[in-house]
Amino acid sequence: MADPEGKTDAGSKRGRARIGLVLFAFIVLAGLWFHTGGRFGPASSGTGQGLAATRPAAQSKPTPTTGITTEAARRWQPPKFTERRRERDAMVSAIRRYGLKDKAVLATMAAVPRHEFVTKRYLSSAYRDTPLPIGYGQTISQPYMVAAMTWYLKLKSGSRVLEIGTGSGYQAAVLTHFTPHVYTIEIVKPLADAVAKRLKRLGYSTVKTRHGDGYYGWEGMTFDAIIVTCAAGQIPPPLLKQLAPGGRMVIPVGRAFSTQWLILVEKDKEGVITSRNLMGVRFVPLVRKSKYSR
């Protein structure tokens, strides 16, 4: 029987709206579980975690690289975007409220179009300060976390930086605003294939991408900075080896689905390594093998 006062339809609509909000909140909270355990607070003292990691016996080499010439990198200028600028500015204001004040980092976060790196399903949420799913069990990082990790690297215009865990390519795009020499590795084959095309389409042409096991880094090279966007049980020894004297590495360390620490690793000019805890975080785990890795 129809409701003579029309309450059934109205109640049904309100019910569906509530369900939608609950589902969205669940997705956001699930993302936050992986990324934000702390804000821009004081770093913990001590030596950090994971410097006694051991090397697995088997090694999987990354597939060939893509990229551009050194001359083109020398003339590099990051692309500019005007779409959704107000939303980007609002996102930057949220980051600033957490205590990050660096002008160069904030300007970069305002310049990179995060909506180009999220799936269609989450386009409307692209500039929320939260991680979002990108498929294959992976996420695009929370904007605040991208900004904070970038700031800790202290990049210079000539720095060579390695990223472990390309994901959507958003972090790599941010890094190109500080240096054109960005190298990035992704283990999930569909993501690696898609991100190479995406970065090229958007104009981030200096980024060199690889599909492979990020645990081993980029063999045969050293880097002034290394950023790891997934949590390792211990700091991979190959990454410590590839960190150049005077270099800095930012990496989340800890077990999956539990409290992790974002750790800053520094190697001095003599090659002596020190580390310290920066903040509590939660990231997706460093993937070594999966059904998507080939």
Q: Is residue 159 part of a domain?
A: yes
d(CA 118, CA 148): 20
Tens-digit pLDDT profile for residues 146-189: 999 999 999 998 899 999 999 999 999 999 999 999 999 999 99
pLDDT, greater one: 24 or 112: 112
Domain total of the chain: 1
| Residue 34 reports pLDDT greater than 90 | no
Q: Is residue 2 part of a domain?
A: no
d(CA 95, CA 88): 11
| Residue 284 reports pLDDT greater than 80 | yes
Residue 159 burial (C-beta neighbours within 10 Å; 0-12, 13-18, 19+): buried
pLDDT at 258: 81
Contact 32, 130 (CB under 8 A): yes
Assess whether 141 carries a catalytic annotation.
yes
pLDDT at 141: 95
Tens-digit pLDDT profile for residues 207-234: 999 999 999 999 999 999 999 999 999 9
Structural domain for 63, as ranges: 7-281
pLDDT at 3: 41
d(CA 184, CA 163): 5
Q: Is residue 230 part of a domain?
A: yes
d(CA 195, CA 173): 11
- Specify the pTM: 0.77
pLDDT, greater one: 31 or 128: 128
Q: Is residue 208 part of a domain?
A: yes
Average pLDDT, rounded, for the chain? 81
pLDDT at 256: 80
pLDDT at 208: 96
93 contacts: CB under 8 Å, gap ≥ 6: none
| Residue 18 reports pLDDT greater than 80 | no
Q: Is residue 294 part of a domain?
A: no
CA distances from 157 to 109, 161, 165, 220, 238 (A): 17, 11, 22, 22, 25
pLDDT at 85: 87
The CATH number of the domain holding residue 74 is 3.40.50.150
Give all strands of the β-sheet with 181-186 in edge-to-edge order: 208-211, 181-186, 160-164, 223-228, 243-253, 260-267, 273-281
Task: Give the pLDDT mean for 125-133.
Answer: 96
Task: Give the pLDDT mean for 115-120.
Answer: 96
Q: Is residue 288 part of a domain?
A: no
Catalytic residue among 141, 159, 168, 293: 141
| Residue 262 reports pLDDT greater than 70 | yes
Ranking 3-7, 115-119, 204-208, 273-277 by mean pLDDT, the lowest is 3-7
Q: Is residue 207 part of a domain?
A: yes
- The residue whose two tokens read 């990231």 is 283
Q: Is residue 157 part of a domain?
A: yes
Tens-digit pLDDT profile for residues 41-81: 434 434 444 443 333 334 444 444 444 455 555 665 777 78
